[in-house]
């Protein structure tokens, strides 16, 4: 879905300025964050154990919508952190569990998701939820640059949180259909059925439902 292209379009100059020097894009697919960045995807190995495949360090390590596919996101993040040079930056983007997964796991929109993420919660509806801020600050020598929800274009009026019973939805729609026929309408307005639909809004151009974390690695190993 070209998530990196969407992200760059809303970045500030300060965020773009972090992409200097040598960089690697973990899980880039066909949409690397920069043309000259080193790509790392399934063809190159398992990103969960990336240091088995990549043996150098970088000025910036970028990953968009990849961490949620890792079997152990905490361990994976520690692996990715090893690739960041002192003074360099780690930029990680993941789906927000409330806006993207909408209260249901396993994911309705991507069955390969192995976990969900929030910025920071005391309690989550998800059995596999991680506080991105918490696991980021646990990295040795990490300094928080920024963390925030990117929800550009997202319409919360269309958010459907929690499971919707297909049986119940079918009964409601059949009842609406009967009422419409009694009123002389051949079928109910499309908007009525849309009330029961669960939608991945991020499939639309420019719509985001993600969290972005940026960390800087200390130059002093004891800092």
What's the Cα-to-Cα distance from 147 to each of 12, 68, 191, rounded to whole Å?
Answer: 14, 17, 36
Sign of CA dihedral 98, 102, 106, 108: negative
All residues at 6 or more sequence positions from 39 whose CB lies less than 8 Å from its CB, including other chains: 24, 25, 28, 32
Domain boundaries in the chain?
A: 3-156+200-217, 163-194
Compute the distance between CA of residue 174 and CA of residue 160 in angstroms, rounded to an integer.
20
pLDDT value, residue 59: 98
DSSP, collapsed to helix, strand or coil, labels residue 23 as strand
Quote the CA–CA distance of 50 and 45 in Å, as a whole number: 7
What's the confidence (pLDDT) of residue 102? 95
Please name the CATH architecture into which domain 3-156+200-217 falls. Answer: 3-Layer(aba) Sandwich (3.40)
Q: Is 17 exposed, middle or buried (0-12, 13-18, 19+ CB in 10 A)?
A: exposed
In whole angstroms, what is the distance from residue 123 CA to residue 134 CA? 13
- The DSSP code sequence of 139-170 is STTEEEEEEEEE-TT--GGG---S---HHHHH
Q: Are strands 116-118 and 142-150 parallel, antiparallel or unpaired?
A: unpaired
Q: Spell out, as residue ranges, where the chain has pLDDT lower than 70.
A: 1, 164-182, 184-197, 221-223
User: How far is 202 from 205, CA to CA, in rounded Å?
Assistant: 7
Q: What's the pTM?
A: 0.86
């Amino acid at each position: 879905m070209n998530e990196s292209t969407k992200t760059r379009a809303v970045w500030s100059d300060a965020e773009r300025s972090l992409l200097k020097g040598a960089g690697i894009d973990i899980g880039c697919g066909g949409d690397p964050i920069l043309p000259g960045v080193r790509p790392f995807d399934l063809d190159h190995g398992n990103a969960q154990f990336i240091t088995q495949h990549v043996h150098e360090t970088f000025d910036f390590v970028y990953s968009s919508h990849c961490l949620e596919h890792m079997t152990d996101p905490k361990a994976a993040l520690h692996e990715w952190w090893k690739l960041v040079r002192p003074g360099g930056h780690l930029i990680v983007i993941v789906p927000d569990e409330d806006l993207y997964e909408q209260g249901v796991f396993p994911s309705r929109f991507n069955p390969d998701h192995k976990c969900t993420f929030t910025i920071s919660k005391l309690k989550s509806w998800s059995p596999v939820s991680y506080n991105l801020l918490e696991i980021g600050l646990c990295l040795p020598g990490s300094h928080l640059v920024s963390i925030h929800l990117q929800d550009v274009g997202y319409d919360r009026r269309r958010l459907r949180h929690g499971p919707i019973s297909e049986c119940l939805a079918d009964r409601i729609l059949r009842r609406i259909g009967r009422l419409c026929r009694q009123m002389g309408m051949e079928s109910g307005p499309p908007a009525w059925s849309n009330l029961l639909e669960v939608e991945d809004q991020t499939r639309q151009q420019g719509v985001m439902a993600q969290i972005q974390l940026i960390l800087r690695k200390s130059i002093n190993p004891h800092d």
